[in-house]
Structure 1
Amino acid sequence: MELIQNLIARHKRGERIGLTSVCSAHPLVIEATFAHALRNAAPLVLIEATSNQVNQDGGYTGMVPADFRAFVEGIAGRLGFPLERLALGGDHLGPNAWTSFPAEVAMAKAEIMVADYVRAGFSKIHLDCSMSCAGDPTPLPERTIAERAARLCRAAEDAYAGDPSDAPVYVIGTEVPVPGGAAEDLDALAVTTPEAVLATLDMHRDLFAEGGLHSAWDRVIAAVVQPGVEFDHMKVVDYDPAAATTLVAAIEPVEHIVFEAHSTDYQTETALSALVRDHFAVLKVGPGVTFALREALWALDAIEAETVEAGKRAGLRAVAIARMKAEPGNWQRYYHDSGAALDLQLQYSLSDRIRYYWPDAEIAAAQVRLFDNLRAQVPPLPLLSQYLPIAYAAVRAGTATLDPVDLIVAHIGATLDAYHGACNPDD
């Protein structure tokens, strides 16, 4: 996609410019993303779906790629965001959703998925075959990862039938952080070595050439490496520029390729700015924005408790915790405490496993009731200042109303502000 390639080219020419990738399927997060872009006159919005969220089997959202595109474009249209400034991406596209199957079965499914993403108009494709399938060794040999990535690239190229100027751009890399944050406690991380990243690039370049994918290689825009950035349930490992000096130097002479930084959620704006300066020109954020969504919903729940009589309250927070305990499938492999400690993890873990539960019918109904209650009993400004000070400031500035959706969008916007500032330092 030319818009993305042009931005990367500007970065390679020395501009301190970057691109935020919002990885979420929640409608309020996507609305906040478009509202933020309109407010800041952003030339490009990149929204990505993961292979677990969206695939030919529906993923955990129930959407196939064409559904996700229609869903996102519908929100953009409602808000008046120009579709020519929207790019859709596919994150961690590979056999991740089917690792319980033998590799050949899983890869065949991944080929179908990647082709479906491309046919649906997704223009940024992250080829991620770093995970082992049934019968594979662990960890997977780097050459096997690269061979599988080239195979998926061929499926993507064969599926594309549009204007060559809009052909997909690709992201590669073998040192890929776990989607959604680490499940174990973290203290420090090993930064990818320059030798490792250059070897990865050479191997992929050679395999793409062997497969007749020369044009596709020219559209590889980024490699995923480990810059020493991650989060676990309760801690954040911040970016240390000094630890990444040699890694940063290694990418500078490589044509048309930058780094893509995963797990940048919860980094400070200073750290995000340093990442962009150091050629991590694509910053991924997912749990960070849904964590902000949860913060806003909990704040609205607290406002409801102070303004709405008990018998009419939605009790969203209590409903959500009860439903998570009744259906533990999306968190029980990650949270291992009990009692009050478990309640803290369910609600406040930085990995934000609660994001999988927002579509639950009972939780969704409670959210609707909460919004209805707060529209009928509009929150007074002092309570808004107490529980949602960022949204309060937006209301006082005239950029948000007291509608609960506006308040949530304003709160999420503060997280997006940090990314916008890092990616557009001259604005």
Structure 2
Amino acid sequence: MVRVKTSRALNPGLKMTDSNNCWQMWPKVKYYRWDLKARLGRYERIYMTVGDNDSVVIGPSKSLLESLCKEICKLKQKRNDMEFKASRQEEEIQRLNVQLREKELELESVRCQPDHEKDQEIQRLRSALEERERSEATRAVLCTSLAEEADQLRSQLGTTVKVCQELLARLDKEKKGEGELEEMGQQQKAKETPESADMSGVNTQIRQLQEENKQLKQRVAYVQGLNSQWQRYDSSREDYIRGLCQRLKETTGQGLMPGLGSVSTGLLHQEISRLNGLLEEKMSECARLGREVEEMRRKDQERIQTLEQQVLIYTEDFKSERTDRERAQGQIQDLKEQVYQLKQQLHKQQGASRENRDVVPMCRVHIGHRISTRRSKDNAERLLRTTAETQQQPAAAAATPNPAWSECLGLSDLQCPRCQAKFSESESAEYLKHWEECAKL
């Protein structure tokens, strides 16, 4: 069995080198190609006999041919690349030669110029240099002035921020005052139910104060929005100034336009004046808003003080009315107790009079009854006069006695039916003794 050699065995000396040495390897490549063709020819002439059959020609394998074809394609590609690079290098060399000829011609023309033209060129270059120096000096001055202005704007911005913080603190205090007023209003509403009509005016004033506080909050939000807009404007202004400085550097770097420096400086001065005008307008507007907020805060403080005084007056009136009401209730309770005691005494006297009627003889009882009825009428008239006088008093207006009770009060005086002797209620025992003695006579 015959083994077919690989491409490495056929090409022991073939190695790839760098692209810079490709031109040197081109003869070697040609030699290797010729060597490969010779070896392939030797392989084609090999004959072998297999058994009793005829001889067989043994040629190169298919894989060997494919590898050789690939190597040949790679070498062709490298050759094409090297040819393209060589053409590019030749074009670059030609371009450089053309530039060199142009520079030589310019140098020759400068050498051939007379002395006054050389002096003019030198003067032009000097003027351009001086203009560049002046533009750099103006740029430095503008940068310093802009830096100072930026510092001033930052300080003014800090003051505006402080003012806004103070306004916010004042608004917080006013909110707390409103909360206290609302609590006091709620307490007054809970206590002063009969005086809701008077407190409605206070509630309307409190609502007005709340609306004014809302307006103040809106104005503070507007001031904060202006502050944020001013911050954005300041940042955009700084960016614009940086862009102007950069463009100034670019224009001064050319050195061939002497009038551009003066134009750029004029534009910068105009822009600075415009920005200063805008800054003054914004600062005046902030000051105006601050004055308005201070005036509104002062008015709110005065209204709050007046409302507090009104609330104190209402509370004092309510307390005095409540004490009067409690005093009247106490007097009414005392009168009710007196009426109850009088009713108890009346019941006791009626029970005692019934017992006396049971003991006295019939004839004398009738006489005494007639006398007592006459006396009772007199007593009833006297009691009616006294009740009319008592009705004029305010303390007894709620408890007016009925006529039955006034008639019964006539029986409170004890009188002997025979001798017409009178006794009081506390002398009931003496009245009984006198009545027994009088009956024995």
Q: Confirm or deny a common fold (TM above 0.5).
A: no
Compare CA radii of gyration and give the structure with the larger one. 2
- TM-score range with shorter-chain normalisation? under 0.3
